Amino acid sequence: MKKHTYIESEALLERALKVIPLGTQTFSKSFEQFPRHYSPLFIKKGKGCKVWDQDDNEYIDLISGLLPVILGYCDPDVNNAIKQQLELGISFSLASELEVIVAEKLVKNIPCAESVRFGKNGSDATSACIRLARAITGKDHVICCGYHGWHDWYIGSTVRNKGVPTSINELTHKVPYNDIESIFQLFKKYPDNIAAVILEPANSIPPKEGFLHNLKDFVKSKNALFIFDEVITGFRFSKGGAQEYFDVTPDLSAFGKAMGNGMPISAVVGKEEYMEEMEEVFFSATFGGETLSLAAANAVIDKIEKEPVIEKIWERGGALKTGVKKLLASNQLEEIIEINGYEPWTMLMFKDHSNGTLKEAIKTFFMKHMINNGVLIAASHNLNYAHNDEDINNILNVYEKVLSNMAVALDDNTLVKNLDCPLIQPVFSVR
Ligand SMILES: Cc1ncc(COP(=O)(O)O)c(C=O)c1O
């Protein structure tokens, strides 16, 4: 394979930085999150599971646009639906039938969904859930677990909380996944003032036996709302999200990412008795009913209903997970790289090596060499329906090469010396 060069990417970054802070709209897509000078910085086009960067280098993409791309880039059914709607108009002066059609499909598929409102980003949906919970309960504090977007109520609880008033930070309490004891303690500390517990139903680790069911019972017993953030798990774990997969129905739920295959659309769904409060709570935006995204969501849901989209993503994600596990074992790298998570979205966790090599160096080495061998990856496997068996094999072949080189570099203690780029630092630790 031709060695990748990033001349056009670098030149475009220089231009971008003059007019765009960080050169991008998304922290996770910024140059700081990729091995500098050894990775593309801009994508020109995508098709299926492949993308081409600014220098026309080709990759199998394991980022899938940070998970919205569930069917693959330029899926013909989604593109046709968007084109047809484009001929009719994008944003109207009143609501359109598409809002009703897509809402009906969400109600049909998602266990807790009796009623629906649309937004554009996942953050719109999670924030709407929180405002709704506060309005319904008359309480202020919130317990959360995972990542829930860029808005004040959540980001105030992280280390990236510049610009968020302290009075807001104090209302949100982050707890680790599976730690029901911390949640009991918070309810003791703020009796009668916790409006909701919101969590990603699953991310890197599985729920302990009974965790989700017990938590739901406890939260309900305290007259608080139980909310699932399904922005990632929705239309990825199953048609009805992780709530269907785990058979636990929350009061409210936020969906986003995969429902539009890359078009900006999200949804708050929930039980009628809670959603009816939306008639009073202010959740309203010019583009809430924008039709191209709704047309895309309509086509995505149809395809997920008709074709084995989710089954294939589980199957191929499983093959990838098993293959990576074997390679980590055969290269004796299990001590420093763990693969976690469920098949449709597995994650790599890097740890410091006993020879002193930092986990950030190991991750930077890993990304640099995967990317240079044609696999665009951060630290997770964000599979989509377009990744076929051959792609999985190709990815595993690249893994084989990169992990064996890594094992040698760690043995020789030359990994850092030969890295030749700054270490990637996380935006903040979420999961
Ligand atoms: C679980 C979860 N919730 C909420 C969000 C926020 O979504 P958005 O970035 O579309 O606002 C994200 C984004 O990554 C997410 O992963």
pLDDT in tens, 195-243: 999 999 998 999 999 999 999 999 999 999 999 999 999 999 999 999 9
> What DSSP character marks residue 292?
H
Which residue has a Cα nearest atom 4 of ligand 1?
A: 148
d(CA 122, CA 126): 6
Model pLDDT, residue 431: 64
Model pLDDT, residue 223: 98
Model pLDDT, residue 430: 66
* Residue 70 in this model has a pLDDT that exceeds 80: yes
Q: How confident is the model over 149-177, as pLDDT tens digits?
A: 999 999 999 999 999 999 999 999 999 99
Q: How confident is the model over 246-290, as pLDDT tens digits?
A: 999 999 999 999 999 999 999 999 999 999 999 999 999 999 999
Q: What separation in Å is there between the alpha carbon of 29 and the centre of ligand 1?
A: 14
Q: What separation in Å is there between the alpha carbon of 150 and the centre of ligand 1?
A: 8
**C-alpha distances in angstroms, 177 versus 116, 206, 207, 215, 238?**
27, 9, 8, 11, 21
Q: What separation in Å is there between the alpha carbon of 76 and the centre of ligand 1?
A: 26
Q: Name residues whose C-beta falls within 8 Å of residue 91's C-beta, 6 or more positions apart in sequence.
A: 286, 287, 289, 290, 291
Model pLDDT, residue 3: 72
Strand 115-119 and strand 58-61: the pairing is unpaired
Q: Which of 130, 158, 232 to mutate to test the pocket of ligand 1 (most atoms within 8 A of CB)?
A: 232
Question: The tokens of 280 are what?
Answer: 């009073």
Q: Which of 147, 243, 347 to mutate to test the pocket of ligand 1 (most atoms within 8 A of CB)?
A: 147
Q: What separation in Å is there between the alpha carbon of 354 and the centre of ligand 1?
A: 35
Q: What separation in Å is there between the alpha carbon of 326 and the centre of ligand 1?
A: 31
Sheet bearing 50-53, strands edge to edge: 43-47, 50-53, 58-61, 375-376
- Of ligand 1's atoms, which has the minimum distance to the CA of residue 121? 10
Torsion over CA: 281, 160, 169, 273 (sign): positive
- Of ligand 1's atoms, which has the minimum distance to the CA of residue 66? 14
**C-alpha distances in angstroms, 41 versus 104, 248, 307, 312, 367?**
39, 40, 34, 30, 13
Q: Which of 67, 69, 123 to mutate to test the pocket of ligand 1 (most atoms within 8 A of CB)?
A: 123
Which residue has a Cα nearest atom 8 of ligand 1?
A: 122
Model pLDDT, residue 425: 83
- Of ligand 1's atoms, which has the minimum distance to the CA of residue 230? 1
d(CA 78, CA 74): 7
Q: What separation in Å is there between the alpha carbon of 147 and the centre of ligand 1?
A: 7
DSSP, residue by residue, 175-210: --TT-HHHHHHHHHHSTT-EEEEEE-S-SSSPPPTT
* Residue 391 in this model has a pLDDT that exceeds 80: yes
Helices (H) and strands (E) in the chain, counts: 14, 14
Q: How confident is the model over 8-63, as pLDDT tens digits?
A: 999 999 999 999 999 999 999 999 999 999 999 999 999 999 999 999 999 999 99
Fold (CATH) for 91-289: Aspartate Aminotransferase; domain 2 (3.40.640)
Q: Name residues whose C-beta falls within 8 Å of residue 411's C-beta, 6 or more positions apart in sequence.
A: none
- Of ligand 1's atoms, which has the minimum distance to the CA of residue 26? 9
The mean-pLDDT minimum among 87-101, 380-394, 415-429 falls in 415-429
List where CATH 3.40.640.10 sits in the chain.
91-289
Mean pLDDT score, 112-125: 98
Q: Which of 66, 118, 148, 261 to mutate to test the pocket of ligand 1 (most atoms within 8 A of CB)?
A: 148
d(CA 72, CA 28): 20
* Residue 369 in this model has a pLDDT that exceeds 60: yes
Model pLDDT, residue 203: 87
What's the helix, strand, coil split of the chain in %, to 5? 45, 15, 40
CATH tag, 7-73+309-412:
3.90.1150.10
Q: What separation in Å is there between the alpha carbon of 231 and the centre of ligand 1?
A: 6
Mean pLDDT score, 341-355: 97
* Residue 2 in this model has a pLDDT that exceeds 80: no
Inter-residue contact 88 to 235 (CB < 8 Å)? no
Q: Which of 126, 198, 204 to mutate to test the pocket of ligand 1 (most atoms within 8 A of CB)?
A: 126
* Residue 1 in this model has a pLDDT that exceeds 90: no
Identify the residues whose C-beta falls under 6 Å from ligand 1: 121-123, 126, 146-149, 200, 229, 231-232, 256
- Of ligand 1's atoms, which has the minimum distance to the CA of residue 126? 4
List where CATH 3.90.1150.10 sits in the chain.
7-73+309-412
* Residue 428 in this model has a pLDDT that exceeds 90: no
- Of ligand 1's atoms, which has the minimum distance to the CA of residue 124? 11
